[in-house]
Amino acid sequence: MVTAVAAEKAFLNRWSPHSNANYRTQFMGEDRHKGERPDPRRPSPIAYLVEQAPHTQLRAHFHEADQFQIFVTGAGRIGAHDADPGLGHFVGPYSGYGPIVAGDTGLAYMTLRNAYDPGAQWLPDHVEKLRPHRESRREITFHTPSPTDNCEWAPPSAATLSPLIDPKADGLAAWSCLVPGGQSLRGPSAADSGGQFWLVMAGALIDPEHGALDRLSMAFVRPEDGSYTVQAIDSGLHVLVLQFPRYRQAEAA
């Protein structure tokens, strides 16, 4: 079953984890400090928005799960890359990245995973854990134009599905999807992957159960769901399709 969440509802739970100017908003799944660990035999979507205050820094680190990050507001950098709205970043397990540094206006980015992760493992403190995983390290950046709000949105005249990460043998892929107002588009099948996040960047999509989902709203399509069909509202839709590699924990189970 496709899982969807509206940004408006998610932002009701915006909070500051350290009582400072940084904020976090959980969109899907549970924070790793709450609830029970998800079933390791199947993909389990985790999604949250991080808002870093101006001139703050998140140290270089790595995770044990595949991860997409999409930068949505502000400016700064991630490692050697300038980070502005529309920058996308994918890392595989045990792939070090960062630091993430916010500029004068702060920086916000969506973090998306298809599996539980025990949390950031800081570098260089845990560098010894990376050595056995040298062959599996992976980091890819890509970019798609992204308005900071819907006022800058220019509706598309034709439906397009443009690759941002060309499909890989293990299922990893990403696309930018534009849909004119009132039209629909059937996405690529998630069947041979670890699932897909559909992240709304502008306009809104109409979900059969949740109605209109606007900017930063999202849906997670599991492998058994096959292809997801989206319909745009009258002003059109720009949505990113972020497809994970086949689910490693499920294969190992």
∠ CA 115-211-187, nearest 5°, is 55
pLDDT at 149: 55
- The contacts of residue 156 (CB under 8 Å, 6+ apart) are 178, 179, 180, 236, 238
pLDDT at 101: 97
Closest CA relative to residue 109, chosen from 23, 202, 37: 23
* Spans of the chain, pLDDT less than 50: 250-253
pLDDT at 250: 39
pLDDT at 38: 63
pLDDT at 217: 98
Reply yes or no: is the peptide bond before residue 124 cis, omega within 30 of 0. yes
pLDDT at 41: 63
Give the largest CA-CA distance in the chain. Answer: 53
Domains of the chain, earliest start first:
9-143 (2.60.120.10), 150-248 (2.60.120.10)
pLDDT at 10: 95
Measure the CA–CA gap between 134 and 93, rounded to whole angstroms.
10
pLDDT at 83: 95
pLDDT at 32: 55
Single-letter amino acid code for the residue at 23: Y
pLDDT at 148: 60
